[in-house]
Structure 1
Amino acid sequence: MHQQPQTDPGQLILIDKPLEWTSFDVVNKLRRACKFKKIGHAGTLDPLATGLLILCTGKMTKQIDQYQAQEKEYTGTLVLGKTTPSVDLETAFDGEFDVSGITPEQIQAAARQLTGEIQQIPPIYSAIRVNGERLYEKARRGETASDIKSRLVTVSNFNVLTDGFPAIDFRIVCSKGTYIRSLVRDLGLLLGNGAYLANLRRTRIGEFVVKDADSVEGFIERYRTEHFPA
């Protein structure tokens, strides 16, 4: 029977999170497959987002907060003219708007308004706890939460490419705690319109980049080969 190595100083693991997996799915998969006694992730990604997820094991879990606090970079696509309650494709469309009057210059100006230090209200479909319950649990029951507090976040870059209008490709560099879905929602509101997030990929956390990350199965195979040789 395979045994966990006797000493576990811990390690930092970079994973390219698959589409439709939760961050906890990745943690649980690695815990079971690699027999990690202690493992956690630094910074949640929504199920419909892909990209860089940092995990720490053993004694390295003490540094999770440090990694969570680092600057993050995302790329993705938002679409103007429609809305969903979750601001992504987890939920069905609930609004449609005429986009014919929106110009590239207006989109660029709206993105600039959402750059710098801004007050941001998290989306109703988020993992923030209000009165001991996660917001998405309320949202999935059809309840509203009127006491969601805004938070100060920093958006260093919000670059948009309008060639595919009404689909807008973007690159965002931002601080810990920034919700990309909130930026998408607010961009639509600034344009007197609506918007939803079509796809999202986290490409960087601090100095760590997604091109250096393993797939879930790739990491498991390599770890088992190194630590549990046949």
Structure 2
Amino acid sequence: MVTAASQRPIPPDIVVRAPDCPNPAQAALLIDKPNGPTSHDVVHRVRRHFGGCKTGHAGTLDPLATGLLVLLLGRATKLQDAFMHLGKTYRGTLRLGATTPTYDREQPEDATYPWQHISDSDLKAATAQFKGTITQRPPMYSAVRVKGERLYKKARRGETAVRPPRHVTIDTFDILHREGRDVTFEVVCSKGTYIRSLADDLGRALDSGAYLTALRRTHIGSYAVDTAWSLDALLRTCPSPSTDSSS
């Protein structure tokens, strides 16, 4: 088990926020990931822009999710574990009364359930069940490997697999707003938490169904998305090595 005390410390001067441009030799770059691209897509675009420098990230966001993604450039890739072990904060919206195979809106609803019986107090009581250390199973549509193969590849073939449970910690699970079936919430949690699974489990706890319709990561530890670069602005503003050499 890796403890916080054993983590490599994060030097404050390598963390790059907008409007500062990163040094590709060593930077932890805060990016506000847009809806659509995968985390790997973002890594690929930034790596290519900065001349093929070594680039990784410190925690995946699903394609439909937006928000804070920490990209690690050059020597900063050695700090991946330190960033990965920081807590995460998410704001999202779930829809009651239905489920989807992916636990989010990426695929159409595959089953519907009554939801009108769910009161605001029912919601509050149900979320309380998920606070603390809980056992969670990843969605079938996820990048978790089982017997050497990504689960999503099995799911696309219509197969199922025994998904290994994992222990995650939910520090807070607060309901912020409700409008009919749609519930806006905030979660502060440990690394490795699947918010899609949390939504699905909450629906079951309410004798109904639920799936994510929106998700945004607002914080990783003390690092906030409000200070991050948008991907397009970064690529438009910060020069690439080829630009530097031609000027």
Structural mapping, 1:28-43, within 5 Å: 28-43=44-59
Corresponding residue to 2:205 among 187, 190, 194: 190
Instruction: Report whether the alignment pairs 1:73 with 2:89.
Output: yes
1:116-155 paired onto structure 2 within 5 Å = 116-145=132-161, 147-155=162-170
TM-score normalised by the chain length of structure 1:
0.93
Alpha-carbon separation, structure 2, partners of 1:44 and 1:8: 21
TM-score, length-normalised on structure 2?
0.87
- Kept in 2, the 8 Å contact 1:49–1:201? The answer is yes
2:152 partner amino acid: Y
**Counterpart in the other structure of 1:4:** none
What is aligned with 2:176? 161
Q: CA deviation at 1:162?
A: 4.6
- Partners of 1:91 and 1:225 lie apart in 2 by 37
SS at match of 1:74: strand
| Structure 1 residue 165, shift from structure 2 partner | 2.5
Q: C-alpha offsets along residues 143-166 of structure 1, whole Å, 9 cap, x if unaligned?
A: 111x21111110000001353121
**Alignment length, in residue pairs?**
223
Distance 1:133 1:226 in 2: 37
> Which 5+ residue runs of structure 2 have no aligned equivalent?
1-22
Relative to 1, partners in 2 of residues 1:212 and 1:227: Cα closer, same or farther, differing over 3 Å? farther
CA distance in 2, matches of 1:219, 1:8: 13
Shift of 1:177: 0.4
Q: Does 1:64 align with 2:80?
A: yes
Whole-angstrom CA distance in 1 between matches of 2:157 and 2:34: 27
Q: 1:53 aligns with which of 69, 81, 90?
A: 69
Q: Where do 4+ consecutive residues of structure 1 move more than 4 Å?
A: none
Match of 1:216 in 2: 231
Which residue is 1:101 aligned to?
117
Cα offset, 1:192, TM superposition: 0.8
